Structure 1
Amino acid sequence: MPLTAAASAREILTGLHEVMAKRGSAQSKLDRVVDLIAEAMTSDVCSIYLLRDNSLELFATHGLRKEAVHVTKLRMGEGLVGTIAASGRILNLAEAAEHPAFAYRPETGEERFHSFAGVPIVRLESPIGVLAVQHAEPRRYEEVEIEALQTVAMVLSEMIAGARLVDGAKRGRLRSAGPLRLTGLRLVAGMARGEAVFHEPRVVVEHTVAEDTEAERARVYSAFRRMREQIDTMAREAEFGMTGEHQEILETYRMFAYDEGWSRRINEAIDSGLTAEAAIERVQQRTRARMLDIDDPLLQERMHDLEDLSNRLLRIVSGRLGTAAQTGLARDTVLIARNLGPADLLEYDKRRLKAVLLEEGSLTSHMTIVARAIGVPVIGRLSDIRHSVEEGEAILVDGDAGSVIVRPNRALVSGFEHRMAMSQKRQAQFAAIRSLPAETSDGVHVSVMVNAGLAEDAATLSMSGADGIGLFRTEFQFLVSATLPGRERQQRLYTKVLDAAGDKPVVFRTVDIGGDKALPYLTDIQDEAENPAMGWRALRLSLDRTALMKSQARALIEAAPGKVLRVMFPMISEPWEYEEARALFEEQIAWARKAKRAMPSRIEFGAMLEVPSLAEMLDQLLPRVDFLSIGTNDLTQFLFAADRSDPRLAQRYDWLSPAILRFLKRVLDQARAANVPVRVCGEMAGRPLEAMALVGIGAENFSITPAAVGPVKAMVRSLDAAAIRNKLDRLLVKPPRDMRKTLTDWARRHSVTIS
């Protein structure tokens, strides 16, 4: 085999170019192609399988029996070839027969061959065939050989599609004239309706083999310059009202745009004989293949950013620049895309953009963060949405439920409009009590604060009617940054949050990174534990990486001159961890005083009770803390030993279980006796029925999502605290069979607003 993948591919592509230019049938050309590849790779076998009538048919071969051509067929997912086509992955095997998917076809005579390598032939992101090579001796193929095969497969896809040898990619379900209901992952809540608009038509690479390599390289260089100018302009002109995490997202985006490794890989693909468009697409295919093997959502998001830029570069180099953003939105729009980068989202007219639907997408995606900030509902994980909808079709989006209706009939539209009207009516009711206190009918005041992670969240406190920020997730800045945020950058964020909050309190939780919140720029903190939620994360990591905590401590102290600074430590298992964390902060307080820095007027320290073991040590902890926060999300899964992300366990426990209510009541009672305020954080406190039960066991401080403030405040104002506390005292002594039903019935009888 030649020394480099580029040289290997170039040798084959030169021959392919000659074959494609000559006259002859498609079959004769493919017969010549397999001979050409086998000769260039000194391979015993080279075979091409094509997707026809829903089967992968052996269409041409060098080395297998010729009588098997057009006879041997494999279903999608069947055998090694079917597995490659179904998964889109490469197989590289020293012993083909040992693979669990191996399916022997005696008519091929392949029993003499041991090693096997196969790559998918892809057109318009869908498999149309498989290119495979085999050798008699057992061996794994070199990386340069696989690279060459992938490049050749890309060129073959053009030839195969041009000759109309395949059915075409099976692009999802068949469309009908009637309504289509889809369910996906709720990324940003909200309801909307509009007409389907595709973010961008797919750029189909028509010409893959280059005639002038240097001319193609010049086209790529020019496209890179133009793309970088676009990204720089967007970074300067982004409208968020305030800089902060969003600016850092665009900085990450810019980092990829200027990445020399990416441009080098495209150049290498051009060296192999590809056109500029084909080279970009070739590197993009490699990125998609890598994404299949990445489990970490943050690293996957970095790959999505890179693919977003690849699409942008491909549009520039091909001269097809018209995304829906550039051509303008003429009507209320539901935007549809496979995935969307934050820079692309920012280009849209926010007056017309009503919702976004994605085939992919994730809760931690940069685009999701931006969409939440500008108030655009988003639903992700809508499989094959781009191929199930036609441009201009009507779409109803229920972001609260994560559901979509395409081509709704009159009855569905009427029902949706009714739900939207009810939602708007409820929002109006919540808005009417926004400035009123969350006070029960018998005069018990309940503090309703919000969880936040963006500087912009603090600026919207007055809109939600919240009493302050009960949990500011400082790790958000770390998760969306391309590099580790330095002290000054952290300080700027914390200052903005405190200034925007004004007189309302803000509780800063120190960084909760590690575990499943991996940072690509800190490779030494990656946690490969089977249960990362219980692993090396949060305070455990911070106490080990003291420089990280010292930097954050100094940033927080210097961000709050003359103000009350409230700091909370997460994931504490035993009191000594709190003591060590507080000691680190107090060292920085002493440093700041010695350096004559402007100091906070007061500093309060708190602990998060998420690990059940801490509840057994409260007598030791409570005298040392100014406040306590209960993190119900982690606490509940730890108490029940049930991972809430596992759908098989999602219904196996209930926040209204007597076990969790008894546990929380003991904590609340013990803290009250020690005169230490307790705040309940997390999803449990944001649900009106659960919040009613929490008031019933003595909770009077909540920190919840901004969207939950209105419903919880309405519940509190309709509640008699003494009555629910008497009821819970009795129920917890002798719990009913169904606590949820019992409390729901009680709330309805007493006219408590729980829905």
Structure 2
Amino acid sequence: MYHGIAASAGVGIGHIVLLREAVIEYDKDKSVDVEAELERFKKELEVFTTNTMQVAEDVRERIGDKEAEIIEGQVMIISDPTLKTEVEAAIKSGKCAEQAMEEVCDTFIQMFSAIEDEMMRQRASDIHDIKTRFLKQLIGIHDVDISKVPAGTILVARDLTPSMTAGIVKENVVGIITEVGGVTSHSAILARALEIPAVLSIENCTTSLQDSEEAIVDGDKGIVITNPSREQVEEYEERYKKHQQEKKDLLAFQGMKTKTADGIEVELFGNIGTPKEAQTVVESGGEGVGLFRTEFLFMDKSSLPSEEEQFESYKEAVIAMNGKPIIIRTLDIGGDKEIPYLEIQKEDNPFLGYRAIRYCLDRPEIYRAQLRALLRASAFGDIRIMVPLVTCMEEIRSVKELLKKYMQELDAEGIAYNPNIQIGVMIETPAASIIADLLAKEVDFFSIGTNDLTQYTMAVDRGNAKVAALYSTYQPAVLRSIRTIIQAAKAEGIMVGMCGEAASDRRLIPLLLAFGLDEFSVSSSAILATRKAISEISLDKAKEIAEKALQLTTEREVFEYLSQNMQ
């Protein structure tokens, strides 16, 4: 049995097809005609871009718009003037197109890989995919045609890139296994869209698993069973039937209000990273957007996005919501997220340094463009502004003063906006938790960011394997902090939501309901399952579970107790 990351739910029984990576070799020492090599690069780039756009259109037709945007994102990367200019500069220095492309891509891969934010790190995987495909095109290496694999196939690869996943015929593939990747990787997103069970990050699976070997992929538990017994096959066949029925049952929650078993209503929102994803939230039954990350506007460019560019993006998202609320987080970037054109210096402790609201208040020309764009877009729907990483009252008061100033500017220019736009804070530090009662008097809403709140509360580096076990929302300190934040919001009568991973955790839902959480913001794919989980418990039962959980003293005790009550 092999253990990995459960990246796409469901079970699949079939036979393994190994996808081995081609060896990419070329002569780095060959002399080149610079002009001819530049022309070669230009022509190959045009072919590559056209082919990638065709893949995106195919994905749009077979899978959906959201998934096509993943491939289109690669077109944006390859079309970036910075990447193109740097490759051309390398060619002018005497390098062949292959070496130039490889070295420039590797620089960007290294940059994005160092970023803590999972969405931003995904850029590294995208660029690696682009690099590999482009080098194969230059050299003349042809990939295995995944669309031709037989029915009952379990694909095994080091990494199933978006371009490879896009070629899958879902009727033929019953499972996916890779050595790398996680739940937020683009391949995992595509696997979920195709409804193919996937277990990722199984070390050395391309060498330990054998071609044609029978296997079971358990995408619920993150395990792979090779050469299963008859009893195991029968057990998983029953699991498959049950899983298919559960999927049908979830459809009954489409379009329903989100409420507990005893009729207490809460709001269920979705998290997004691009304007186009807003439509996905609506289609998935979301009642609003609880977190719109704006970093994509800055990460996917070689220069600062203008006020007009930002305005158009926010306007697109708010119009797609058709009157439903959309909470937009201002730029959450800093020392751990390298964007060359921002020239942010590296720091010894980037998570405790120059980032998020600290950076924005220190760079008023950047913040002005974003806040004005948000105000202008608020004329088209229910936009709410959320400020990240607030640790003191001065920060939120400074933002409110800036908004007042920019409103006066827009008035003078005769530009429409919502003068009553709501402003809130993302509570994700112990400091904000401790002064939550004071912050609640200054803002219109709270949103609890459990990912960072857990990291800062437990003083743990999520990337450090030696202390990673301490990173858990089930820690009593974290749960008590969440309760304190919600109580502070309730005392002042302001809305309080949650946009971290904990919001969709079935074990934690009873506690969050008991504490009084008003709004759960989850990934679009988790909306219906979260609505179902909320509907299955009464508020009285939730309070009973919460009272007992808060008496427990260790993370393990809390986890086991909540797991028992989830059944």
Q: Which category of TM-score, normalised to the shorter sequence, fits these structures?
A: 0.7 to 0.9
For residues 293 and 500 of structure 1, what CA distance do their matches in structure 2 show? 33
Q: Report the equivalent of 1:719.
A: 537
Unaligned runs of at least 5 residues, structure 2? none
1:283 to partner: Cα distance:
7.8
- Cα distance in 2 for residues equivalent to 1:599 and 1:731: 45
Q: Deviations over 1:249-300 (max 9, x none)?
A: 4211234897354466578777xxxxx8xx8479859977997899615898
1:466 aligned residue (286, 293, 296): 286
- Match for 2:245 among 425, 437, 442? 425
The secondary structure found in structure 2 opposite 1:571 is coil
How far, CA to CA, are the matches of 1:286 and 1:598 in structure 2?
A: 44
SS in 2 for 1:466: coil
Shift of 1:411: 4.3
Counterpart residue number, 2:364: 546
- Is the contact between residue 514 and residue 537 of structure 1 (CA under 8 Å) also seen in structure 2? yes
Which residue pairs with 1:697 in the alignment?
Answer: 515
Which protein shows a greater Rg?
1
CA 1:590–1:533 in 2, change beyond 3 Å: closer, same or farther? same
Matched, 1:594 2:419: no
TM-score for both structures, normalised by structure 2: 0.81
Deviation digits for residues 204-253 of structure 1 (CA, Å, limit 9, x no counterpart):
65x9699x966999689547623432313423762353786763442112
Matches of 1:612 and 1:420 in 2, distance apart? Answer: 43
Alignment of 1:9-88 (within 5 A): none
Gapped runs of 5+ residues in structure 1?
A: 1-180, 271-275, 748-753
Out of 73, 77, 91, the residue aligned to residue 252 of structure 1 is 77
* C-alpha distance 261-615 of structure 1, shift in aligned 2 (>3 A): closer
- The residue number in structure 2 matching 1:625 is 443
Could you say what the CA RMSD is over the residues aligned between the two structures, in angstroms? 4.2
CA contact (8 A) 1:366 1:480 kept: no
Give me the whole-angstrom Cα distance separating, in 2, the residues matched to 1:389 and 1:193.
Answer: 15
- Which residue type is aligned with residue 259 of structure 1? K
Report the CA distance between 1:570 and its aligned residue: 0.8
Partner residue in 1 for 2:387: 569
1:332–1:263 Cα change, 3 Å = farther
Find the aligned partners of 2:545 and 2:466 in 1 and give their Cα distance: 32
Report how far residue 507 of structure 1 moved.
Answer: 0.8
From 423, 434, 442, give the equivalent of 2:254. Answer: 434
Q: Identity of paired residues, percent? A: 27
Alignment match, 1:176 = none
Write the mapping of 1:331-346 to structure 2, written as runs, cut at 5 A. 331=151, 333-339=153-159, 342-343=162-163, 345-346=165-166
CA contact (8 A) 1:201 1:323 kept: no
1:92-491 map, 5 Å: 181-185=1-5, 191-192=11-12, 196-197=16-17, 202-203=22-23, 205=25, 222=40, 225-235=43-53, 238-239=56-57, 240=60, 241=65, 247-255=72-80, 259=84, 261-262=86-87, 265=90, 280=98, 284=102, 296-297=114-115, 307-324=128-145, 328-329=148-149, 331=151, 333-339=153-159, 342-343=162-163, 345-346=165-166, 356-361=176-181, 379-389=199-209, 393-394=213-214, 396-405=216-225, 408=228, 410-481=230-301, 483-491=303-311
1:680 counterpart residue number: 498
| 1:500-579 to 2 correspondences below 5 Å | 500-522=320-342, 524-530=343-349, 532-579=350-397
**Higher mean C-alpha displacement, 650-659 vs 466-475:** 650-659
Please give the secondary structure, in 2, of the residue aligned with 1:460.
Answer: helix
The 8 Å contact of residues 335 and 351 in structure 2, kept in 1 or not, is answered as yes
Letter of the structure 1 residue corresponding to residue 322 of structure 2: G
Q: Which amino acid aligns with 1:528?
A: E
Instruction: State which drifts further: 306-315 or 700-709.
Output: 306-315
Within 2, Cα distance between the matches of 1:543 and 1:567? 15
Counterpart amino acid of residue 655 in structure 1: T
Cα pair 2:319 2:380 within 8 Å, conserved: no
CA positional deviation for 1:548? 2.0
Cα 1:235–1:215, aligned 2, differ >3 Å: closer, same or farther?
same
Q: Deviations over 1:153-180 (max 9, x none)?
A: xxxxxxxxxxxxxxxxxxxxxxxxxxxx
Change in Cα spacing, 1:391 to 1:563, as seen in structure 2 (3 Å) is: same
Amino acid at match of 2:43: R
TM superposition score normalised by structure 1 = 0.63
Q: CA deviation at 1:600?
A: 3.4
Q: Secondary structure at the match of 2:290?
A: strand
Residue identity opposite 1:525 in structure 2: I
1:498 aligns with 2:307: no
Inter-partner Cα distance in structure 2 for 1:395 and 1:540: 51
Compute the displacement of 1:458 (Å): 2.0
Q: Could you tell me which amino acid in structure 1 is paired with residue 52 of structure 2?
A: M
* Deviation by residue 1:710-752 (Cα, 9 ceiling, x = unmatched): 34333332323134436645775x557744555555x4xxxxx
Counterpart in the other structure of 1:655: 473
Structure 2 SS opposite 1:688: coil
Q: CA deviation at 1:709?
A: 3.1
Q: Work out the CA distance in 1 between the residues paired with 2:142 and 2:82.
A: 17
Distance in 2 (alpha carbons) for counterparts of 1:454 and 1:375? 22
Letter of the 2:348 counterpart? A
Q: Aligned with 1:663: secondary structure?
A: helix
> What SS does the aligned partner of 1:238 have?
helix
Greater length-normalized contact order (CA 8 Å, ≥ 6 residues apart): 2
Q: CA deviation at 1:395?
A: 5.1
SS in 1 for 2:316: helix
